[in-house]
């Protein structure tokens, strides 16, 4: 009986979302309260609605990590999507210097609107280009071509198949090292990396700046097959694995927290 009810409820919600967002094209603001912090999110479809609804439950360890940031430090949110953790970090810690990296133009628009709703559009820096291991030109592929979508990736292959990936565009890429040395970006104390497959390129692009970083939170897809590679790389940089938070389908994705020793 419970299974039947869930199935009916799922279909009702799909129909409701289609009417609200596809036909009526409704937009509204949802207020989320977490840890006595009020956050406003612009809702434009079922995905942005989900991101707001699941704020407190999807990645609780990520929230707990952000809550422990020291004052007067710098946080780089690489792959910030619509700004869920970018905004929470700044509202919670006013002295924190926050830089939000998001190259998907679909998410960039909602990110800006969310910053504006929370009066943070002049307090947080947005960087709209993908990061990699060096200064180059790559193909940025939109995974879910909708507001709040995920699974976008940067492809640096010379034989990139543009016919296969029709939702893609050519983009300049820069590294963490480029931004710090050539553009005078503040060195990060805390970094969150959620880039759906490009994390090793970004980690390589940090170059000799690891000594100034305290902690790095890395989302790893296909966790069981990729964790050893990431952990060995980070160990060589004097960072040890401190915590793991599994989520996603069958817990195949995980956030991994590395702390400098």
**Residue in the structure block whose two tokens are 């707001």:** 52
Q: Is the pLDDT of residue 161 over 60?
A: no
153 pLDDT tier (thresholds 50, 70, 90): confident
DSSP state of 162: T
Rg (the chain; Cα; Å): 19
Task: Name the band, by pLDDT with cuts 50, 70 and 90, for residue 158.
Answer: low
What is the model's pLDDT at position 43?
Answer: 96
Looking up tokens 């010379």 gives: 158
Q: Token pair of 185, please?
A: 């970006």
The values of phi and psi at residue 65, to 5°, are -60, -50
In three state form, how does the secondary structure of 145-160 look? CCCCCCCCEEECCCCC
Q: Which residue would you say has higher pLDDT here, 163 or 249?
A: 249
pLDDT > 90 fraction of the chain, expressed in percent and rounded: 71
Residue 113's H or E segment, with its range, is helix 105-117
Q: What is the pLDDT of residue 197?
A: 85
**pLDDT confidence band for 18 (50 / 70 / 90):** low
What's the gap between Cα 174 and its chain centre? Answer: 17
Cα 225 to Cα 12, 60, 66, 222, 253: the distances in Å are 38, 24, 27, 6, 11
With b for 16 or more beta-carbon neighbours within 10 A and e for fewer, the 214-239 pattern comes to ebbbbbbbebeebbeebbeebeebeb
Interaxial angle between packed helices 60-67 and 84-92, expressed in degrees from 0 to 180 and rounded to the nearest 10: 30
Q: With beta carbons less than 8 A apart as the criterion, state whether 200 and 233 touch.
A: yes
- CA separation for the pair 180, 188 (Å, rounded): 9
What are 233's strand-pairing partners?
A: none
Q: In whole angstroms, what is the distance from residue 138 CA to residue 82 CA?
A: 22
pLDDT tens-digit map of 200-223 = 999 999 999 999 999 999 999 999
- Please name the fold of domain 57-260: Rossmann fold (3.40.50)
pLDDT digits (tens, 9 = 90+) for 109-131: 999 999 999 999 999 999 999 99
Mean per-residue pLDDT of the chain = 90
User: pLDDT tens digit string along 55-108?
Assistant: 999 999 999 999 999 999 999 999 999 999 999 999 999 999 999 999 998 899
The token pair that represents 174 in the structure block: 């820069």
How far apart are the C-alpha atoms of 200 and 253, rounded to whole Å?
16
| More confident of the two residues 232 and 12 | 232
pTM of the model: 0.90
Sequence-separated contacts (24+) of 8-14 with Cβ below 8 Å: 13/46
Which residues on adjacent β-strands are paired with residue 74?
97
Return the sign of the alpha-carbon dihedral for residues 55, 59, 63, 66.
Answer: negative
- Give the residue from 34, 43, 109, 45 showing the smallest Cα distance to 67: 34
Residues 6+ apart with CB under 8 A from 22: none
For residues 122 and 66, what is the distance between their CA atoms, to the nearest angstrom? 21
- Strand partners for 258: 216, 241
């Amino acid at each position: 009986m419970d299974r039947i009810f869930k199935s009916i409820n799922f279909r009702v919600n799909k129909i409701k979302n289609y009417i609200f967002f596809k036909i009526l094209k409704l937009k509204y603001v949802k207020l989320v309260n977490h840890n006595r912090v009020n956050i406003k999110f612009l809702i434009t479809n079922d995905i942005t609605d989900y991101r707001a609804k699941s704020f407190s439950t999807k990645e609780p360890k990520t929230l707990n990590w952000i809550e422990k940031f020291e004052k007067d430090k710098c946080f780089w949110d690489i792959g910030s999507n619509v700004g869920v953790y970018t905004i929470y970090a700044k509202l919670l810690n006013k002295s924190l210097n926050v830089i939000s990296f998001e190259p998907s133009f679909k998410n960039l628009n909602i990110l800006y609107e969310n910053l504006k709703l929370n009066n943070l559009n002049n307090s947080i820096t947005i960087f709209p280009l993908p990061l990699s291991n060096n200064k180059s030109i790559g193909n940025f592929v939109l995974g879910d071509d909708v507001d709040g979508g995920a699974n976008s990736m940067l492809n640096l292959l010379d034989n990139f198949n543009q016919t296969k990936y029709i939702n893609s565009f050519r983009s300049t890429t820069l590294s963490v090292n480029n931004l710090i040395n050539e553009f005078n970006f503040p060195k990060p104390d805390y970094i969150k990396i959620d880039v759906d497959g490009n994390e090793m390129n970004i980690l390589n692009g940090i170059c000799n700046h690891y000594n100034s970083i305290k902690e790095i939170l890395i989302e790893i897809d296909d966790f069981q097959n990729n964790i050893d590679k990431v952990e060995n790389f980070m160990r060589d940089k004097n960072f040890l694995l401190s915590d793991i938070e599994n989520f996603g389908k069958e817990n195949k994705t995980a956030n991994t927290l590395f702390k400098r020793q």
